[in-house]
Amino acid sequence: SARSSTPSVVSINAGDSASSGSYVLSVEQLAVPEAYQTATGFDTSDTVVGTGTLVITNGETITDVLIDDASASLDGIATAINTGNPSALAGIITDSEGKALLQIATLDYQDSNQLIITVIDADGNDTDEIGLSQLATNQLSIITPAVNAQVTLDGTVFERSTNAITDLISDVTLYLLATSPADTLVELDISEPSLVAEDLLFSDVSSYFNSATGSVIFTAVTANNPNAVLYSNAFTLEKNQHHMLAITGLADAISAAIATEEYRPVATESRLSILHAAPSTSQVDVYVTKGDVSLENSNPAGNNIVPLVT
């Protein structure tokens, strides 16, 4: 699992191969996506511009948007871009003289904060100012210049062209949502889940094991299938206590409850056992992950539990 101490500034999503670790980060500048506009206005949004193919490149993502006779107008081109390209958003505005202008904006959280648009123009000339080729980025006006994101990770300053940064921590995506408040560092923690009960049969109780204390996330899955999550939630474990987690319920209504037992381990430990009391599932595996924040506040998917694997 992955945790951000300030998810309103940086959210984090860790992939299956992310290694455990702790980091501190601050966000000095968010990336600003670039936006473009046709250099000249058209009489109306129904004006035919031309046909051919728009080749839209954003970082490593290249998308061909076909513009045929049915979509050759300014309106049709905007619709085709919005339908066929995940990296851009197109719209039409009217200027002070009543002319229609096509605007194309780079969407946030893409590979890059800039687009490169080249054109395969049906009129045979891909670089002139007539027909579809007038929508190539070298023919468009920039109305919002791109600005790179700037972050400091563990004391080192990095600059990136996107607010979705994938190359600072292996198999981890950092989603930049806001700049950091003054003199505030965001703490990032990545924890690998531990398998604490394997192939636990219905009505069986696992052996006791030592556990982290504080807020701990338990995830019960179908045995040998880490992606088949039956139940996941956070519980608080106290030091110097024995606990039992009981997994109960039927079919899709699996739940769990934790109880404190009378006998105690040494003062610095918490010990736990698992009771499998959900008859609709013959065997379960149970994972435990340290989790110091609420489940809904640690990554952009709104869920502190990422797919758990051993």
Tokens of 79: 């619709």
Average pLDDT, integer, range 122-126? 93
Residue 155 and residue 135 share a domain: no
Q: Give percent of the chain above pLDDT 90.
A: 54
Residue 303 pLDDT > 50, yes or no? no
| Residue 153 belongs to some domain of the structure | yes
Q: Look at residue 267 in the predicted model and tell me its pLDDT.
A: 56
Residue 39 resides in a domain: yes
pLDDT the model gives residue 288: 80
Q: In the chain, how many domains are there? A: 3
**Residues 24 and 60 both lie in one domain:** no
Say whether both 52 and 140 belong to one domain: yes
Range of the structural domain that residue 46 is part of: 35-144
pLDDT mean across residues, the chain = 86
Please indicate, yes or no, whether residues 202 and 244 belong to a single structural domain of this protein.
Answer: yes
Domain final residue pick, 108, 126, 144: 144
> What pLDDT is stored for residue 268 in this prediction?
55
Q: What is the mean pLDDT of the segment spanning 164-171?
A: 94
- Residue 269 confidence (pLDDT): 62
Residue 218 lies in a domain: yes
pLDDT digits (tens, 9 = 90+) for 134-166: 999 999 999 999 999 999 999 999 999 999 999
Is residue 43 located within the same domain as residue 140? yes
Report the alpha-carbon distance of residue 169 to residue 50 in Å, rounded.
Answer: 45
Identify whether residues 138 and 154 lie together within a single domain.
Answer: no
With tokens 């013959």, the residue in question is 282
Q: SS3 string of the chain?
A: CEEECCCCCEEEEECCCCCCEEEEEEEEECCECCEEECCCCECCCCCECCCEEEEEEECCEEEEEEECHHHCEHHHHHHHHHHHCCCEEEEEEECCCCCEEEEEEECCCCCCCCCEEEEEECCCCCCCCCHHHHHCHHHCEEEECCECEEEEECCEEEEECCCEECCCCCCEEEEECCCCCCCCCEEEEECCCEEEEEEEECCCECCCEEECCEEEEEEEEECCCCCCEEEEEEEEECCCEEEEEEEEEECCEEEEEEEEECCCCCCCCEEEEEEEECCCCCEEEEEEEECCCCHHHCCCCCCCCCCCCC
pLDDT of res. 13 = 85
Same domain, yes or no: 268 and 240: yes
Q: Is residue 113 part of a domain?
A: yes
pLDDT in tens, 228-263: 888 888 888 777 788 888 999 887 788 888 888 776
Q: Are residues 41 and 135 in the same domain?
A: yes
pLDDT at 293: 38
Residue 67 pLDDT greater than 80, yes or no: yes
pLDDT at 106 over 60: yes
Q: Can you give the pTM of this predicted structure?
A: 0.67
Q: Is residue 54 part of a domain?
A: yes
Q: What is the pLDDT of residue 297?
A: 37
In a domain, 310, yes or no: no
Classify residue 306: in a domain, yes or no.
Answer: no
130 lies in the same domain as 58: yes
Q: Are residues 173 and 73 located together in one domain of the fold?
A: no
Minimum mean pLDDT among 103-112, 177-186, 292-301: which range?
292-301
pLDDT at residue 186 tops 60:
yes
Give Cα 90 to chain centroid, integer Å. Answer: 23
Is 47 inside a domain boundary?
A: yes
Residue 245, amino acid: L
Instruction: Tell whether 89 and 168 lie within a shared domain.
Output: no
Pair 244, 284 in one domain: yes
Give the mean model confidence (pLDDT) for residues 105-117.
95
pLDDT for 16-44, tens place per residue?
Answer: 778 888 999 999 999 999 999 999 999 99
Q: Which residues contact 183 (CB under 8 A, 6 or more apart)?
A: none
